[in-house]
Structure 1
């Protein structure tokens, strides 16, 4: 069964996700993203993203999909906490009038559109912290990556922080435990990373400054400061030099899963930026599984000031 709509001039240049909510009802972003990715919603017979801006006379097809029924199923699957996921690793680092800073646990998505039912946007939308407002995501952090993550509390701050990220005025530091002993103790990785978008090959330049904090013949603890912000940049770059991150099931040299760590050993350790001449620096404590593997691999990390 296909339900088809023609966009009238009232909604011209409106984002698709907003059009869906205006036309059909209050649909969670995660459900919209899943439907678009699976091709159950198309515009002019093409798959598009939720940010796509509809135009007058566009034809929107919804394929064999009952939003109301699906929404009931989603609610049964996931009932987010009214405060925050109960875990000693999900700590609030800072909570001010404009943004909140978290130490995100691995396994939790930033927003909808992934296979995970847990995502920070849904959780904090119902939180008392955001009463009278809503959370705005201003940057990315992979579901399996832990560490510092920021959400804005209002549109103005969201736009400001997004601009800072885009202009590379937000400085991030990551820590990773990877396979083998890196030859160089410091330097730069400059790569042309390949990704595909709807079958189209895209080549993106990526740059990262790195420093080996400790190493042995078996493993290395690496500090990384990405200059660019490509998808899976650090994971791809370490894989490209033959030192994939422990726990990385996508970028690894062997197809075998034997001995693969359950958790990805990549942690967003620090973030720095400046607003109105005021400096902000936030650090996220290492998760226990990360510290445990450091001991197993006989690697040392000194918590810098």
Structure 2
């Protein structure tokens, strides 16, 4: 069976193999790569590698591809209650003609998956704010991470903001509370991070500027400015130097028991960018649980 799928803004910069697994179903990575290699799956009718990233309006073509029942796994849209819609609308920092900026809570995904679950795109799709349009995702923020998040209101804004993120013209600042006392007060982490595609190990260059704002023998409050945007970059880099983030149950040291903090102490604090010579700066207030841990650990942060 031949089918084609057009890429919208929610999938910009996503790898083609990931898109296939997310949207077509649980197809083994080896089968995805094989079909790309022999040309049963193409991008814009051309053969591509599994690592190619998608662009807006790209078309993924399937030729003589057997869409078996066990592979088909449609996304189930989350149906938010009016109360949940209102609660998330109350998190909005700015609402203009082109985009919305909000202070995302931890524990909520940006987009839904193959199972019905709470996510921002489905929530704001039902909001009056997007009554005559739809929400466009222009960047990613881990489910566990709180803080500044941008949602575009139209295709043109989505294209522009996505481009600014890709060109690293949007500057992000994070705050993290991590275990132990970081020795160096300022510096740059410039290293390779490991990720896996099946059994294949892939190295990705990652760069982050850091500054320790306060510390003691127990823990450190650190400001993080990622230059690259690798998956779990900040969490991996702090874990790599032996100072994992509080509440991180994925990247943690063996001698650290399960954290008493169910929330990840990583917060997207500020975003800065420029459009048509106009400067935009958005700051997200710290969550109460973050402020409470600062107090408990006797760490000072002057701006909250």
TM-score range, shorter chain: 0.7 to 0.9
Q: Do the aligned partners of residues 268 and 119 (structure 1) sit closer, same or farther apart at CA in structure 2, a change above 3 Å counting?
A: same
Match of 2:2 in 1: 6
The match for 2:241 is 241
Q: How many angstroms apart in 2 are the aligned matches of 1:214 and 1:89?
A: 33
Partner of 1:147: 147
Which of 58, 61, 68 is matched with 1:55 structurally? 61
In 1, Cα distance between the equivalents of 2:273 and 2:219? Answer: 31
What is the match of residue 26 of structure 2? 38
Deviation at 1:36, TM superposition (A): 4.0
Q: Which moved more, 1:44-53 or 1:289-298?
A: 44-53
Q: How many residues align?
A: 277
Does the CA-based 8 Å contact 2:98-2:154 persist in structure 1? yes
State the distance in 1 between where 2:32 and 2:298 align: 54
Cα contact 2:24–2:72 (8 A) shared by 1? no
Partner in structure 2 of residue 293 of structure 1: 293
Worse-matched range after superposition: 227-236 or 195-204: 195-204
Q: Higher mean Cα deviation, 98-107 or 38-47?
A: 38-47
Structure 2 segments unaligned to the other structure (5+ residues): 10-19, 42-49
- Supply the distance in 1 between the matched residues of 2:175 and 2:295 (Cα, whole angstroms): 15
- 1:88 and 1:17 map into 2 onto residues whose CA distance is 24
Q: Which residue of 2 aligns with 1:166?
A: 166
Counterparts of 1:210-289 in structure 2 under 5 Å?
Answer: 210-254=210-254, 257-289=257-289
Q: Show the counterpart of 1:135.
A: 135
Could you list the per-position Cα deviations for residues 163-219 of structure 1 after superposition, in whole angstroms to 9, with x for gaps in the alignment? 111111100000000000000011111110111124332211111111111100000
Separation in 1 of the partners of 2:35 and 2:63? 15
Q: C-alpha displacement at 1:61, in angstroms?
A: 1.1
Q: Which moves more between the two structures, 82-91 or 159-168?
A: 82-91
Contact 1:84/1:124 (<8 A) preserved? no
Task: Tell whether the 8 Å contact from 1:43 to 1:61 is kept in structure 2 after alignment.
Answer: no
Q: Distance in 1 between matches of 2:35 and 2:69?
A: 12
- Structure 1 185/43 Cα, relative in aligned 2: closer, same or farther at 3 Å? closer
Q: Distance in 1 between matches of 2:97 and 2:8?
A: 27
The change in CA–CA distance for 1:210 and 1:43 in structure 2 (over 3 A counts) is closer
State yes or no: 1:15 paired with 2:16: no
Q: Alpha carbon RMSD of aligned pairs, Å?
A: 3.2
* CA-CA distance at 1:248 after TM superposition: 0.5
